Structure 1
Amino acid sequence: MIDKTSIENLKQRLDIVEVIGSYLELKKNGANYKCVCPFHNDTSPSLVISPSKQIYHCFACGAGGDSIKFVMEYEKLSYPESIEKLANMVNFSLSYTSNNGAKKEERKLMENLNLFYTQQLDRHLTAKSYLNQRGIAESSIEKFEIGYAPSSFATLDFLSKHAYTMSESMEYGVAGIGENNQPYARFIERVTFPIYTPTGRLVGFGGRTLSNHPAKYVNSPQTKHFNKSQLLYGYHLAKESIFKQKKIIITEGYLDVIMLHQAGFKEAVATLGTALTHEHLPLITRGDPEVIVAYDGDEAGINAALKASILLSQHALRGGVVLFAGGMDPADMVQKGLFDALNHLFRKPQPFIEFALERMIKKYNLKDPLLKQHALEEAMSYLKTLPQAVQESYTGLLSEKLGLHHNLIKIQTHKPKRLEKKERVFEDMLELTIIKTILSEPTLIETVLDTIDSSMFKTHQEEFTLLLENHFEHPKLRRILLWEDIKIYDEKELIASMISFLYHYYSEKFQEIKSARELSYEKKQFLIRKIQEKMMKLKQGELVPYESISTL
């Protein structure tokens, strides 16, 4: 079992913006953040995340809660699984208890294995020589914790001697069971590159072979701790520079990142042997940086850059593409000391949309009218995925590249579909202000209860009742808390709003009693006099105690 105190300590470490931002692309919206809700078919950002209250709420479907609830719902995990997932995300060490309540020792398999790999590096001259040949300095080896994975037997022996079971090793993706039912280490005779989460938790390894293995590079397999599509190599070391420089350089490999950092480009990161995907966007967009895609100039690099450009431009990200020609990559340029050339390239990347259009058109022989038409159709299909103003801005470039008159390149705009009429929901902002103020400042509840009863609320009686019954997790109260149009009053402002609320309430009761036929003349006059007294005091700025009209 996870120790309860450990869970409470974890909750203090969690930042809901960081948690949800690791799954979804967030946009700043006043004091809060907004994004498209993943819990229903959302077409516009309906999910609001509050850093101050550490909760989220969807104003369309009502989903909401804290960081733990989000991970449970998004990943379909149990409560303990979500706790462990969040602990991994924020590099927090949970404490466990056995059935008798005694605390269990933390295992730290990945950290100890990484230390084993780094110690092995000094003992293997071939690995050391390879790193030296690539121009990697000792300081970079230390900074990036580069190591060496020896034979399968040596790694398995290390794990066994440290009492790590095969199930634990498999859980972290460092060992497996072969076809012959024999255990094996995942990384054999490879230079190792530890892979960390943005918060600095070691979750996987990359390995570069030094033998004749057909797979030059391998990564840890997918595990509950490691998802390569959500991580970027070196991000934990680059994030400070990314936020400061407002720029992120995305490369293709480990050595590119290491060498660029060595040359002072500390905002460099790399995808982990996979293409740039939607899953990377929440991490890439943190801090709203300019994004530079820095790939090799070979066919594979160009195709990867094209896909990345389409993805990033469709999400309105600033930046562009840098391709490295002549069979060189960023690591080669650093090794050759071409720092000024690198600076120039990174200062003037080719904008994503321009690059995408150019590369789409280059695939076709424009001397063939039929193929030119195909090029036009592919380019237009892409442009239509972008905002209309952006589409219009690039029609001139497209006509120039294709050698067509600009009149032939027309953006077909579609009339927006008529939305179904929704039933109009009336909101009483005065009632909502009183409720939100009490939610935010619970000490003011007595001031309110002395003068107001839930029966006085015409529109939001249910919400006020939920407040009095302490159902603070209810979606209707969470909605009020995160609705920025509703103000939070101080005590003086609250009293003024209550006076207004009460005056309006007693004014309506005055009219009801005047027209009530079932009341005797004497009762009616008594009630009118009572209400007039209350209204007079309210006019003078004095709160009046609540009395039920039915009991007067």
Structure 2
Amino acid sequence: MIATDAIEGLKARLDIVDVVGNYVELRKAGTNFKGVCPFHDEKTPSFVVSPHKQIYHCFGCGAGGDSIKFIMEHDKLNYPEAIEKLAAQYNYTLTYTQGSHQKTDTKIIDTLNLWYQSLLEQHPQAKAYLQERGIYSSSIERFGIGYAPGSKETLSYLQSNLFNMNDAIALGVVGKGENNLYARFIERITFPIYATNGTTVGFGGRTISGHSAKYVNSPQSKLFNKSRLLYAYHQARDAIYKKKEIIVTEGYLDVIMLHQAGFDTAVATLGTALTSEHLPLLRKGDPRIIMAYDGDNAGISAALKAAKLLSSAGFDGGVVIFSQGRDPADMVKNAHIEELNTLFRSAQPFIEFTLQHILQQYRLSNPKEKEQAMHEGVGYLKTLSPLLQEEYKSYLASQLGLSPSLLKMHSQAPSPSYTATTTYGDAWERSLIKTAVEHPEYLNIIVDSLSSSLLQHHAHELELVLQGNLNDPAVMSILMDERNPPFHDAAHLHDNLIFFLRNHYEKMLKKVKFQHELSLDRKSFLIRSYRHKIEKLKRGELIPYEGHL
């Protein structure tokens, strides 16, 4: 069992915006962040993350909780599994109660990484390859480049260091055949791959022995998901945030050489095309995206898919295609730095690049094919914002030689988010509940002055708060709604309680006057009691709640 103090220590280290931001594209919205909910199908963002409260809540489906709850729900893990996954991602060492199951030993990857780096010095062929590609010794050290030997050597090293082979298999550094174990990386130059926080989560490997698979990556594991990672993002992050730009390339060597030449915002996808799962990471820091691809058919196809994805998601940026068999690494090696600068500065905007390549698929001299090209172009523009649709409608029409009036956009209005109007009483009660949660030092004042039964709109939610059920979706919905702030101090709360209770007792006084079924003595008693309370409230005195008279 994981020790309680270890769980609390992990929670203190986690930042919910960072945790959720690895899965969901988040955009600043006031003091909070908003995105499209990953737990139900929606087009208009109603998923809110609060860095102040360290919780998330969806106003569409009601999902909510803290960082651990998010990982549990998103990755379908139980509580201990979610804690262990977060601990591994954030390089936090958990402690366990005596005799309980221990977590997977993620130090295996760090230890192997250092061992691979030490072996590079002992392998002249690997060093010669890196030198021939133009990689400096300083870059080898900075990016942690190493060398993985034969399978037997790696297995022997792991066993001699008393590592559990089941852990090694779970982390993707060892594979299991029908009758034997084998190392995943054999006779390859290794490139460690880091999570955004600097934790080593896997490797890329480049063969130098003529293996048919030139590059391999770690398999999917509890730490490694190539669709959510970018090579060298950890090294490039500060520059990305500072320069508001990120260059996405296709290979490790491209990234390392670009960094050598001063293009320190360069990263690379991990042997896969850019996917929607990469977008939350690319969104961080709100940079301009430059996609740098090879000029072969595969590269242009990947660039087109990326441009469509990024433009539809609202990213700013463009595409650079390297023609004539060139790539960024070779251009740096051949000292074509200024040409690279020019290429990156003049990247073709995503929307223009996409429309251009859509039209290139058709013979526009043929009226029927021109019509098909128009429909495909319009279909793509409909994935953009209304403003961009209008801006690029004329551009597409000019490329087709048509009047813009022929291009019918018919934009769909976005479905409304949580915009229900609230009455004054509803808003007041929401502010009261927020005050009870955010200022627990005022709880006694609230409890002494009223009962949850007096609330007309949110009696249940106040009762949940008083019981300590702050993770209930109904409570979280109120806490995440910024329209109704809490009462800012004790005096503000006092004045509001006076106003609320005075209105309440004045209503009760009017009501009792028309209750003809009451005896004269009972009615007289209630009238005197309510008038007495109202007089005290008028003098600014809070009176203790006595229940129903």
| Shorter-chain TM-score tier | over 0.9
Q: CA deviation at 1:416?
A: 7.8
Q: CA deviation at 1:178?
A: 3.3
Secondary structure of the residue aligned to 1:38 is coil
Report which stretch shifted further, 390-399 or 202-211: 390-399
Equivalences for residues 30-429 of structure 1 within 5 A: 30-99=30-99, 108-178=107-177, 181-413=179-411, 428-429=426-427
Native 8 Å contact 1:451 1:546 kept in 2? yes
Secondary structure of the residue aligned to 1:229 is coil
Equivalences for residues 459-498 of structure 1 within 5 A: 459-489=457-487, 490-498=489-497
CA–CA separation in structure 2 for the residues paired with 1:484 and 1:417: 20
CA–CA separation in structure 2 for the residues paired with 1:17 and 1:46: 15
Secondary structure of the residue aligned to 1:228 is coil
CA–CA separation in structure 1 for the residues paired with 2:169 and 2:416: 54
Higher relative contact order (CA 8 A, sep 6+): 2
- The answer to whether the aligner puts 1:508 opposite 2:520 as a matched pair is no
Q: CA deviation at 1:449?
A: 2.4
CA–CA separation in structure 2 for the residues paired with 1:524 and 1:48: 50
Secondary structure of the residue aligned to 1:321 is strand
CA 1:269/1:418 → structure 2, altered by over 3 Å: closer, same or farther? closer
2:27 alignment counterpart: 27
CA–CA separation in structure 1 for the residues paired with 2:209 and 2:400: 48
Native 8 Å contact 1:275 1:304 kept in 2? yes
CA 1:300/1:106 → structure 2, altered by over 3 Å: closer, same or farther? closer
Matched letter for residue 348 of structure 1: S
Q: CA deviation at 1:97?
A: 4.6
Q: CA deviation at 1:53?
A: 1.1
Q: CA deviation at 1:497?
A: 0.4
Query: What is the root-mean-square deviation of aligned Cα atoms in Å?
Result: 2.3
CA 1:417/1:142 → structure 2, altered by over 3 Å: closer, same or farther? closer
CA deviation map 1:241-270 (0-9, x unaligned):
111111111111001111111111111110
Matched letter for residue 505 of structure 2: Y
Matched letter for residue 18 of structure 1: D
CA–CA separation in structure 2 for the residues paired with 1:315 and 1:215: 33
CA 1:220/1:72 → structure 2, altered by over 3 Å: closer, same or farther? same
Matched letter for residue 114 of structure 1: N
CA–CA separation in structure 1 for the residues paired with 2:413 and 2:45: 21
Native 8 Å contact 1:255 1:331 kept in 2? yes
CA–CA separation in structure 1 for the residues paired with 2:62 and 2:198: 33
Q: CA deviation at 1:232?
A: 0.3
Native 8 Å contact 1:198 1:236 kept in 2? yes
CA deviation map 1:504-548 (0-9, x unaligned):
101110111111101233432332233222222222322223233
Q: CA deviation at 1:422?
A: 9.7
CA deviation map 1:218-251 (0-9, x unaligned):
1111112211001000011111111111111111
Report which stretch shifted further, 423-432 or 132-141: 423-432
CA deviation map 1:84-131 (0-9, x unaligned):
111122122223455179x99956111111111111111111111111
Native 8 Å contact 1:97 1:104 kept in 2? no
Native 8 Å contact 2:88 2:106 kept in 1? no
Q: CA deviation at 1:389?
A: 2.1
CA–CA separation in structure 2 for the residues paired with 1:18 and 1:182: 40
CA 1:202/1:414 → structure 2, altered by over 3 Å: closer, same or farther? closer
CA deviation map 1:300-320 (0-9, x unaligned):
111111100000000111111
Matched letter for residue 204 of structure 1: G
1:544 alignment counterpart: 543
CA deviation map 1:365-412 (0-9, x unaligned):
323333323322221211121122211211222122223333333323
Native 8 Å contact 1:510 1:531 kept in 2? yes
CA 1:3/1:352 → structure 2, altered by over 3 Å: closer, same or farther? same
Native 8 Å contact 1:95 1:106 kept in 2? no
TM-score for the superposition, normalised by structure 2: 0.94
Native 8 Å contact 1:439 1:467 kept in 2? yes
CA–CA separation in structure 1 for the residues paired with 2:541 and 2:422: 36
Report which stretch shifted further, 538-547 or 481-490: 538-547
TM-score for the superposition, normalised by structure 1: 0.94
Matched letter for residue 346 of structure 1: F
1:7 alignment counterpart: 7
Secondary structure of the residue aligned to 2:483 is coil
